[in-house]
Amino acid sequence: MGIKDELRSGFISASFQVLLGGLAKFALEEIGKIWGVDAELRKLERALSRIQAMIEYVEHGHWNSFFSNSSKKAWQLWLEDVKTLSNVADDLLEEISLEMDLAKSKVDCYQTSSGNLIRNEILSSGRLDVPREISKLRKDLEDLACEMDKFFTFESLKVEGTKVTSLAQSYCYSANRSSSFVDHSLIVGRDIQKADIVQRLLSDANMVSHNLSLISIVGMAGIGKTTLAQVVYNDEQILKYFELKIWASVSLEFDVVRVTRSIIESVTKKSCKLTDLDPLQGKLQELLNGKRFLLVLDDFWSEKYNDWQVLSAPLRSGSKGSKIIVTTRSRGVPSLVGSDPYLVPFLHDKDCWELMKQRALLNKNICTVENVDALGLQIAKKCKGLPLMANILGSTMNCIPFEEWDAILKSNLWDLTQLRDDIFPALALSYHYLPTELKKCFAYCALFPANHKFEDENLVSLWMAEGFIQPMGERRMEDIGKQYFKDLVWRSFFYPDPIDKKIHKMHDLFHKMAQFISTDVCLQMDNDRPSCYPSFINIRHLSFCCNSSLSVELKEFPKCKRLRTFLLTCNNGANVGQGTIYLFQKFSMLRVLDLSQGGITELPDLVGCLKHLRYLNLSGNPIKFVPNSIGKLPYLQTLKLINCRELLCFPRNFRNLGNLRHLQFDKNRRITHMPPGFGELKNLQTLSAFVVGQGEGYTIMELKKMAFLKGSLHLLRLENVKDEIEAAEAKLDMKPWLEELELEWTIPRNKHDAEIVLSHIQFHGNLKKLVITNYCGVAFPPRWLNDSVHSQLRTIHLQSCRECSLLPVLGHLPFLESLRIEDMPALERVHFEFSVGFPSLKSLEFRNMLELKEWEGLRDGDMSSLHVLICKDCPSLISLPSLHILSSLTVLKIKRCSTLQSLSERMPITLKKLDVRGSTTVEERCEEGGEDWLKLRSIPALKIVSDRSSMNEPTPMEL
């Protein structure tokens, strides 16, 4: 049995654990009591446990080496049957759960005979015979378990007394032993990283009190962590600086005795016979005492605090300047050992080709062949920056004629035996030792196309909908899911996008491994493949990648009877059309349905038949209405309507979605109010916007019961708030997880009423960002934001407050970092009181202030942290205050302030960039020989452009 089969067994075992958890928690507590099938359920649970135990036994390798060909075939057939029956069991529990919830909604559960009433209600529906279904499933599982038991009994006689390890463990023991020796001629693309780490090792700036500091080199398997450590270890400067250099391999199975002995042997160059920890640590302490040493602990896996504490105890006896390098796949290790992670970057394609070339051209004379480098560079792109893959590809190319290299370029790399045999076990080791709950979450990512941009919140919502996240006490499922994602990032299964840190990606090799593991469970299709697919009975999760705007005929999809997931991942949009009707009719067990960018103009009422649906994404579709039948989806958790520009309203029975946790939609001027009784959605956590209406069931008071709202919330049409009572009853101050809030008036109303409403909209002290739009008051309420509860605010944006002639006092907010004031035509003067304080303010912007004439003076100490000051489109601005007081100012931009007469008498000495455009007078003063030239000429980045020269310029995009 190969490692691929072994890892698939692990995936099935993980599924069993989820199934058993659901059975134990739900079935035994409710089904058994109501239906009187306790005995059957316990037998069912025992059969599942027996099968799981056998799968885990094989997964951990106890008989892998002794499987005969016939045994392997039998095992694979059993695994297929196990998957089928586990799917049946999972679906049965799902069906029973749904029927019971529907029955409970019709029965008074406080009656003493409520169990009988629930049973009678289910029986009367005629949809499900619970005792018969459970009995049949139990018998099928017991029969399968008996067959497997007999096989295991027979096979155990052949391996009795023999110690056998799994393929993953074998790889760990045989391949993950390293030494400090390295061939420098075979290292490319690591000069910057080498120089950086060497500099850190030679510096004592980061030393701590116990004379020891650490550097953790972190990255996925095959990225070159060990090689980088070897290059640093053998650097000439390192040789001169450290008295002792020590290399020890730790590997996955942490053994403090073995590692300590290895360190001693690296120091003494002799075999150590000691076997007990105490004398070993005493010996090591004696060897290191008073010496400055460099220790490399290669391939460190353990995240147990006690393991590190015991191992590191004698290492603290070295002298000041001693350093430890730890190489690891886990970001949890740096936190454990007390160092920041040093993330090893992927190689550039050119460096991958240089690495490949050394092996591909070894003992070959093909330098006269044209396009060697061009073709080699194309093949190198397949490495995706992974040195291990480059080395193996180079060796493979060396074994075949140059004329056949083009076949490698066009081939699926996983068809190359050497690549599969050498790389896959290294990656599989990371998967093999994942916690069970993370295995299904990782394998699920096979549904997405290569190079997909993962957003943690969306992926967690999908995991929740699939039932992959296991409850833990009172913790929110979303928080548990985010920890799952974080754990996978820490273990290098995901890496952050270098441009957008909110996005993560998965290396192609991990993506391919996820596809291998989830074969016959997850299926990814695209319109570049033939339209005829086999019918896979065990396919649970299916995605369709549409690479062009084509009409998608969903009837051609495999008839997966037990489909749980359908994802439409379109790059350029698609046209699903009436195909949605086929989905709703054929796949009634769907939990996840993503039809984003599907070209859907009307969603059929049949969507209400998907009773098990948890996740529905309709984003990017030109739909005008969401059908009322959506209110019949009792389990719906996530509804996404982002970029649905034609959407007019929500269905009236929206209040029935009691399990809805995430509702995302763009603020849309066409939507005039939320559906009636929206406040019944007490479990909502994500709410993009709330459109305030008038009348009972539509007011802002509907937010009162939504205590779990988090992230950002945009309140529109605040002119519909009747009085201060309604404003206060929204209870925004009782929503501690809200971090961003935007308050917007759409139609101006009585100015006094607007001031009263704003003064009574209170919010929790955890709020970080506040945006006020179209506020129609003449001034902000007295003492607005003066309460210490608002001290956590980091960002404030005041825009289009067109009647306001006086700015609020905000300088007392201790953590305010960014303030933007925009489009306030009634404001003529920034008064002295406004500028006082602002101890943390880093960015201040005035934009489109048409009547602003003057900004009154600053005092010493005001805005002491301000880095960026921008005045844009203030055509009446005549003068600025004394800017030299801004002791941290580095960037000053003044654009299209045509009447500005001068800058400041003195400029801050910290100023690095000055950009002034659209002021003829200022240009004349600042040109060489002008009145202000001497005080500006030392600014490194200086740009002054007059009105006439800027008239022909495009509007600056950077602002």
Question: Got the DSSP string for 797-851?
Answer: EEE--TT--BPPP-TT-TT--EEEEE--TT--EE-GGGGS--TT--EEEEES-TT
**CB 616 within 8 Å of CB 591:** no
Q: State the alpha helices, DSSP H only, in 613-743.
A: 724-729
SS3 112: coil
Say how far apart CA 653 and CA 655 lie, in whole Å.
5
Across 352-388, b (16+ Cβ under 10 Å) vs e yields bbbbbbbbbbeeeeeeeeeebeebbbbbbebbbbbbb
Pairing of strands 638-641, 615-617: parallel
Residues 221 and 129 in one domain: no
Which strands, in side-by-side order, build the sheet including 495-496? 454-455, 503-505, 495-496
pLDDT (average), residues 601-609:
90
Give the dihedral sign, CA 767/771/772/774.
negative
Map 692-707 to HEC letters. CCCCCCCCHHHHCCCC
Q: Is residue 583 part of a domain?
A: yes
**CB 576 within 8 Å of CB 553:** no
pLDDT (average), residues 794-820:
94
Residues 866 and 910 in one domain: yes
Say how far apart CA 158 and CA 19 lie, in whole Å.
32
Q: Is residue 76 part of a domain?
A: yes
Per-residue pLDDT tens over the stretch 636-651: 999 999 999 899 999 9
Give helix then strand counts, H and E, for the chain. Answer: 29, 29
H/E segment holding residue 156: helix 130-159
Domain termination residue (choose one: 504, 533, 553): 504
Say how far apart CA 554 and CA 551 lie, in whole Å.
9
Residues 279 and 223 in one domain: yes
Quote the pLDDT of residue 112. 47
Confidence bin at 924 (pLDDT 50/70/90):
confident
Per-residue pLDDT tens over the stretch 50-84: 877 777 766 655 545 445 556 667 777 777 777 77
Residues 146 and 241 in one domain: no
Residue whose C-alpha is closest to residue 803's, from 840, 753, 769: 753
Say how far apart CA 261 and CA 253 lie, in whole Å.
15
Looking at the DSSP bridge assignments, the partners of residue 551 are 575
Domain termination residue (choose one: 164, 186, 211): 164
Phi, psi of 412 (to 5 degrees): -80, 120
Amino acid identity for residue 46 in this structure = R
DSSP code for 879: B
Q: How many domains does the chain have?
A: 5
Quote the pLDDT of residue 549. 52
Least confident of 126-130, 161-165, 820-824: 161-165
SS3 128: coil
Residue 606 in tokens: 């049949």
Residue 658 in tokens: 């009691």
SS3 423: helix
Quote the pLDDT of residue 125. 61
Residues 444 and 565 in one domain: no
Say how far apart CA 652 and CA 228 lie, in whole Å.
62
**CB 592 within 8 Å of CB 464:** no
Domain termination residue (choose one: 628, 650, 666): 666
Residues 500 and 525 in one domain: no
Q: Is residue 151 part of a domain?
A: yes
**CB 879 within 8 Å of CB 856:** no
Quote the pLDDT of residue 335. 86
Query: Taking 50 as the threshold, does the pLDDT of residue 690 lie above it?
Result: yes
Rg (CA), the chain: 33
Residues 29 and 120 in one domain: yes
Q: Is residue 783 part of a domain?
A: no
Pairing of strands 293-300, 322-328: parallel
CA terminus-to-terminus distance, the chain: 61
Residues 661 and 531 in one domain: yes
Phi, psi of 165 (to 5 degrees): -115, 160
Say how far apart CA 590 and CA 565 lie, in whole Å.
6
Query: Taking 50 as the threshold, does the pLDDT of residue 709 lie above it?
Result: yes
CATH number at residue 531: 3.80.10.10
Quote the pLDDT of residue 123. 59
Phi, psi of 478 (to 5 degrees): -65, -40
Quote the pLDDT of residue 349. 93
Say how far apart CA 232 and CA 557 lie, in whole Å.
54
**Domain region containing 117:** 3-164
Query: Taking 50 as the threshold, does the pLDDT of residue 871 lie above it?
Result: yes
Query: Taking 80 as the threshold, does the pLDDT of residue 250 lie above it?
Result: yes
Residues 539 and 622 in one domain: yes
Looking at the DSSP bridge assignments, the partners of residue 585 are none
Query: Taking 70 as the threshold, does the pLDDT of residue 5 lie above it?
Result: no
Over the chain, what is the mean pLDDT? 83
Residues 233 and 99 in one domain: no
The most confident of 427-431, 633-637, 855-859, by mean pLDDT: 633-637
Residues 477 and 613 in one domain: no
**CB 345 within 8 Å of CB 317:** no
Per-residue pLDDT tens over the stretch 490-536: 888 998 888 887 899 998 888 988 988 888 788 888 765 544 455 56
Residues 184 and 155 in one domain: no
Q: Is residue 789 part of a domain?
A: no
Q: Is residue 584 part of a domain?
A: yes
**CB 303 within 8 Å of CB 328:** no
Confidence bin at 614 (pLDDT 50/70/90):
very high
Q: Is residue 802 part of a domain?
A: no
Say how far apart CA 362 and CA 897 lie, in whole Å.
67
Looking at the DSSP bridge assignments, the partners of residue 820 are 797, 845
Q: Is residue 838 part of a domain?
A: no
Confidence bin at 360 (pLDDT 50/70/90):
confident
